Chains A and B, each alone.
Chain A
């Protein structure tokens, strides 16, 4: 088990503080946070590359770490084989053993055909496999991934996720993976720690982190586009004339967040178990790749995700009048 206790590191204008994490052996642990939240520094402290100002990290053996950075950091003056063999040569491993180990790991990662290529001619996915092979050949106890899929296209990213899961399963390796991509965190993590402004604000299962973000900032980051603030009285919060029902009874000052996929639209007011219903006018449509984001003004601006087929069938365009409906349980409340 890796235990991180009261870790603190201060820079000129940034501080990582009070980081306490227990990571179980063989766990796939994701640190989720936006850019500049301190993820890479945390990883480098775990790797022993950056000294914390205070606090302790237990359970990480020196040189028992496979660190893979976002840009892979393959040595450009070496070919793929020499990159993979680097750690073994440093260990002064026999040449014959080095050759066998490199070959074995290259076969496992399906990069045997690349071994004599210059790393500068590799694609993003090939570079990443080479970087993983370079770490894997030393059979580390812990893998540290620093945003390893940030530079990859969607299909390579999905393949990479499969590769990470395989690595985790087959080698029973402990993986600490930092990312700003919450979908990736959900897809891979046994548990997720949310890191914001140098502080861990939540550690939980992916479902819990996503469905019950602990702060308004976390909700924003998790993709909640409908975030409003106000005072809750008798299970109601008044946002510019829209009385939204909440599960929380009273709060002097609170944020509420509603995921845009938890809201549905209708042309007529419908009787359902959803208690929050508001009438408004479509002000903008935004294409979001797989779906369409509809912005509706009900006095409050709601962002709602719908499919293209719904958009066509309901003939939604700017100016269309619609009902915005969502369940009370879809309203996440974050008290100040």
Chain B
């Protein structure tokens, strides 16, 4: 009994640590100001851009990241540990540093821009690139662990029943890992939405919600930043709760 009480108490303290600042911010924001902010086209456009750019990053991560996660879970090859370490780098390094590194590749004077003539800096694509870079480890690691947990004998059984590698992956491995992959996708999307450091270097404009919050705080003070922050938190929270409920029902 004591054991459960101590553990519950420790857990409660941690939850309070997360909830109190959010709650404080909610109650300190003026409802009238919040309503006005919710009708502000610039704010809404900024929040929509944030959600959309992160969604694009997540979709692209599914296409490239899930096969990579499967390979890391199922195969052994020279340098595998290095690749796993590289995937975790975006989590470790400061995100402003990540933004600068990305600028070297995607910036106006980069080789990519010189060869192709295309510059994405200051566009929605640049925002997605920044979000992708810092948040893709969430999806890859979650998918990798999910594939690892699937007993390889399920796949072998499918093969003895006539399935090719492709069919086995699509009909057995992917559906069995689905829940964790989607969960990883949701986490990646959420992480992308909250990204500031890398995005602000690649694209100050068009302005994502975190950049807008920073700008309003810098130029006009706390009272201007809070309504946008609260709105972003409410919208994100509602979307994630809906996604989690849908996922749990499946």
Contacts and interface: CB of A to CB of B under 8 A. Distances in A.
B156 A49 contact: yes
B160 A47 contact: yes
Contacts of B160: 47, 49, 63, 65-67, 135
A49 B161 contact: no
A77 interface: yes
Given A77-B175, A77-B176, A90-B167, A67 B162 contact: no
Most buried by B among A65, A66, A90, A134: A90
B89 interface: no
Most buried by A among B154, B160, B167, B172: B160
A86 interface: yes
A42 interface: no
A73 B154 contact: yes
Contacts of A44: 156
Interface in A227-276: none
Given A49-B156, A76-B176, A138 B151 contact: no
Contacts of A65: 160
A69 B161 contact: no
Contact of A73 (B157, B167, B178): B157
B159 interface: yes
Contact of B158 (A71, A77, A86): A86
B173 to A, nearest CB: 10
A124 interface: no
Interface in A17-71: 44, 47, 49, 63, 65-67, 69, 71
A75 B153 contact: no
A73 B151 contact: yes
A90 B162 contact: yes
Contacts of A91: 162
A75 B172 contact: yes
B48 to A, nearest CB: 35
Interface in B171-190: 171-172, 175-176, 178
Chain A interface residue count: which class?
A: 20 to 34
Contacts of B171: 86, 90
Interface in B144-164: 151, 153-154, 156-163
Nearest to A140: B160
Chain B interface residue count: which class?
A: 10 to 19
A49 B162 contact: no
A333 B163 CA distance: 50
Contacts of B153: 69, 71, 73
Contacts of A66: 160
A87 B162 CA distance: 6
A86 B161 contact: yes
Given A69-B153, A73-B154, A90-B167, A49 B159 contact: yes
Given A76-B176, A77-B175, A77-B176, A87 B156 contact: no
A66 B159 CA distance: 10
Interface string A66-107: 110101010111000000001100110000000000000000
Interface in B10-30: none
B23 to A, nearest CB: 40
Contacts of B167: 90
Nearest to A73: B157
A87 B161 contact: yes
Interface in A129-180: 134-135, 138
Contacts of B151: 71, 73
Given A86-B161, A90-B162, A138-B161, A67 B172 contact: no
Nearest to A91: B162
Interface string B118-158: 00000000000000000000000000000000010110111
Contact of B157 (A63, A69, A77): A69
Contacts of A134: 161
Contacts of B176: 75-77
B175 A63 contact: no
Nearest to A67: B160
Most buried by A among B153, B154, B158, B171: B153
A75 B175 CA distance: 10
A22 to B, nearest CB: 22
B150 to A, nearest CB: 10
Contacts of B154: 73, 75
7 contacts: A47-B160, A73-B154, A75-B176, A76-B176, A77-B176, A77-B178, A134-B161
Q: Which 10 A-B pairs have the closest CB atoms?
A: A87-B161, A67-B160, A73-B157, A90-B162, A77-B175, A49-B156, A63-B162, A73-B153, A90-B163, A73-B154
Interface of B: 151, 153-154, 156-163, 167, 171-172, 175-176, 178
Given A49-B159, A90-B158, 15 more contacts: A44-B156, A49-B160, A65-B160, A66-B160, A71-B151, A71-B153, A75-B154, A77-B176, A86-B158, A86-B161, A87-B162, A90-B161, A135-B161, A138-B161, A138-B162
